[in-house]
Amino acid sequence: MKQLKGAVLLGQSGGPTSVINASAAGVFLTAIDSELVTDVFGAVHGVKGILNEEFYDMRKEDRKELERLKNTPASSIGSVRYKLADPKKDDTDYKRLLEVFKKYNIRYFFYNGGNDSMDTAHKINEFFKNSGYDCRIMGVPKTIDNDLNGTDHSPGFGSAAKYIATTLMELYHDATVYDTKQVTIVEIMGRNAGWLTAAAALAQAKGQGPDLVFLPEVSFDLDFFNKRVKEVLEEKGKVIVAISEGVKTADGKYIPELFKDLTTDSFGHAQLGGTAAVLADEVGKLLNVKVRPIEFSLMQRSAAHLASKVDVEEAFNAGKLAVEAALNGESGKMVGFKRLSSKPYKMEYVLLPLSIAANTERKVPLDWILPDAKGLSQEFVDYALPLIQGDCKAELEDGLPRFAQLKKVKAPKK
C-alpha cells in the first residue's frame, strides 16, 4: 500500500443529530494522532465551505474540547443542504473542489451525513479518480431517519428513538389523567421511512405508548384514520396517535398538502411539518373533543440528554475507523454496521461502497407493521431495543450540560 501524506478534511451535511459530533470527534482525534496527516481541517458548512475555501483549523482546538464533542449535539462545524450537479452536465463545482483540494494538499476527505451526503461523497470520489488526483474519500454515516441502505442501522437513530419512546411514555402519563375525553396526536420526523415513528412501539411494549401508529410505508386514508380514532376513543375515552410527518395518501399527497401548497428545499424535498395540527383540527370538528397536536420537531434529533451509549460509541468508532481505513488505502467507501445477533447484541463494522448508500432509502419492512395501525411487531422491538441501551451524556456544570466550546480558528486562505 502506498503511503499518502497530506491534510484531512471533514465536512458535515444534512440534519443534525445527537451523535454526529461524536463521529467528528472520532475523525479529528484519530487524524491528529497520525504521522501521515499534515493538517486537520473542518469544512465550514460542508461542501459549501470547501467551495468557499472556508476551513477551521482543528489542530488549534484543545484536545479536551474535541473529546467533549462526543457528547455535544448537532453539527459543530456547521451543516449544509447543497446538491452537487451531475458532473456530466455541469462540472463547475467539481473543478473548484479539485482546485481547493490541491491548494491545501487535502488527501483525505470524510463526509458525515445521510443519503444525499453519501451521494455527494460518491460523486466527488469518482470525479477525483477520473481526474487522476490521489485522494481517499470516505463516508461517515449519520441519520436519525435510519434509512441508509446497506447498513443495519445508522448513527443518530438510536438516540432519537430513545427520545421518542421516552417522551411518548411521559406523554402517556400526562394525556390520560383527566376524566374527560381527549385525543393527542404526536407528529414525528420521517419523510419516506418510518423508523423513528416506529420507535413508538418501544413505549407500547412498556404499556405506556400510543394507541395508533401511522408510518409512511403504508398509504394514509383520512377516513380510516378518523374511524380508528373514533373506535379507540369510544373504547378508552383517550387516544394517543403517533404519526410520521411524511405519511402520504394513495395518490402521493402529504397530509398538509391536502389543505395547502408545500415549499421545497434545495434537494427538491417538500418542507414537511404540520401533519398533527391539520389532523387535530379535523378530528376536533368531527368528534367534538379536546385534541392536542404535538410536533416533536427539532427536539427529537438533538436530544443529547437522552443519548444512547451504544449510539454515541458507534458514532465515534465510525469516524475513527473511517480515518484508519483511509490511512490504510481505502477510498470510495462508507463505514457500515453488520448485525450478528440481537440477543445478545453483537455487531461488526464493515466498509460498503458509497454507491450503495447514495440516494437510496431503506424502509421499515412491511411485515413488521401491524394491521389497523396498531403499531409494530416484536421483530421491530427486538431490532430497536439494543440500539437505545446505556446512558452517555455531557458532564454537568451548574446543573446544565457542558458542551464542547470550540475556538473555531479559521485556516488562513492560500
Tens of pLDDT along 357-386? 877 789 999 999 999 999 999 999 999 999
Active site residues: 145
Q: Tell me phi and psi for residue 103, to 5 degrees.
A: -60, -40
Separation in Å, CA 248 to CA 86, 126, 212, 240, 272: 29, 35, 16, 20, 11
3-state secondary structure at position 53: coil
The pLDDT of residue 260 is 61
Question: Which region among 46-50, 216-220, 237-241, 270-274 has the lowest average model confidence (pLDDT)?
Answer: 270-274
The pLDDT of residue 322 is 98
Mean confidence (pLDDT) of the chain: 94
> DSSP characters for 141-154?
E--TT---TTSS--
The pLDDT of residue 258 is 78
Calpha distance 144→146 (Å, rounded): 5
Q: What is the pLDDT of residues 264-298, one digit of tens each?
A: 544 445 555 689 999 999 999 999 999 999 999 99
| More confident position, 148 or 258 | 148
Question: Which region among 13-22, 237-246, 268-277, 387-396 has the lowest average model confidence (pLDDT)?
Answer: 268-277
With a cut of 60, say whether residue 408 has pLDDT above it: yes
| Side-chain half-sphere CA neighbours of 252 within 13 A | 1
**Structure-block grid coordinates of residue 263:** 415549499
The average pLDDT across 213-221 equals 97
Domains and CATH numbers, the chain: 6-143+304-359+395-401 (3.40.50.450), 157-300 (3.40.50.460)
The pLDDT of residue 110 is 98
Contact by Cβ (8 Å): 8, 27: yes
The pLDDT of residue 233 is 97
The pLDDT of residue 266 is 46
Dihedral sign of CA atoms 23, 395, 399, 77 in order: negative
The pLDDT of residue 267 is 47
Contact by Cβ (8 Å): 388, 310: yes
- 263 falls in which pLDDT band (50, 70, 90)? low
With a cut of 80, say whether residue 30 has pLDDT above it: yes
Place of cell 484508519: 324
What predicted TM-score, i.e. pTM, was given to this entire model?
0.95
Calpha distance 56→29 (Å, rounded): 15
Dihedral sign of CA atoms 186, 189, 193, 196 in order: negative
The pLDDT of residue 272 is 54
**β-sheet bridge partners, residue 136:** 108
The average pLDDT across 99-110 equals 98
How far apart, in Å, do the first and last CA atoms of the chain sit? Answer: 30
The pLDDT of residue 103 is 97
Strands 345-353 and 333-342: what pairing? antiparallel
3-state secondary structure at position 186: strand
